[in-house]
Amino acid sequence: MKIVFFSLGETVPAQEWLMKQDSRVRLFILKYIERVSIGGTKRNVKALGGGLFEIKVDKGPGYRVYFGEDKNVILVILCCGTKRSQKSDIEKARKYWRLYNA
C-alpha cells in the first residue's frame, strides 16, 4: 500500500510532528507505519470508525499515528501524537480525514 501524508495547504501535520521528534524515534515510527502499509502486524491498529484508524506504537510515551485508507491502495497519514494528546489528535484526524475525502 502506498503511503502519503495529508497536507493542509503547505502544512503537513504528521510530517511536522515527526520532524520534532528525536531521529531514532522518528525512524522507529516510520518503520512501524511501513510495516502496517505492507500488511504486517495489525495487533496495534485500532479502528476508530468512519474509515479512521489509530496505530499504537510500542515505544516512548505512547506514540500514536492516525491514518485512513483510500480504497485499500493508499495509507493516508493524517497526524501523530502521544497518549497525552490522544483525544485532541483523534479530533484533528477526523477533521483531516473529512477534508481529504471532500
Contact, 26 vs 34, CB < 8 A?
no
In this prediction, residue 73 carries a pLDDT of 79
Alpha-carbon distance of 95 to 78, in angstroms, equals 9
Residue 66 pLDDT grade (very low, low, confident, very high; cuts 50, 70, 90): very high
In this prediction, residue 43 carries a pLDDT of 84
CATH code: domain of residue 7: 3.30.2310.20
Q: How many domains does the chain have?
A: 1
Alpha-carbon distance of 67 to 63, in angstroms, equals 13
In this prediction, residue 99 carries a pLDDT of 95
In this prediction, residue 65 carries a pLDDT of 97
Write out the residue range of the structural domain in which residue 11 sits: 2-101
In this prediction, residue 16 carries a pLDDT of 96
> What percentage of the chain exceeds 90 in pLDDT?
79
In this prediction, residue 76 carries a pLDDT of 95
Residue 40 pLDDT grade (very low, low, confident, very high; cuts 50, 70, 90): confident
> Residue 21 pLDDT > 90, yes or no?
yes
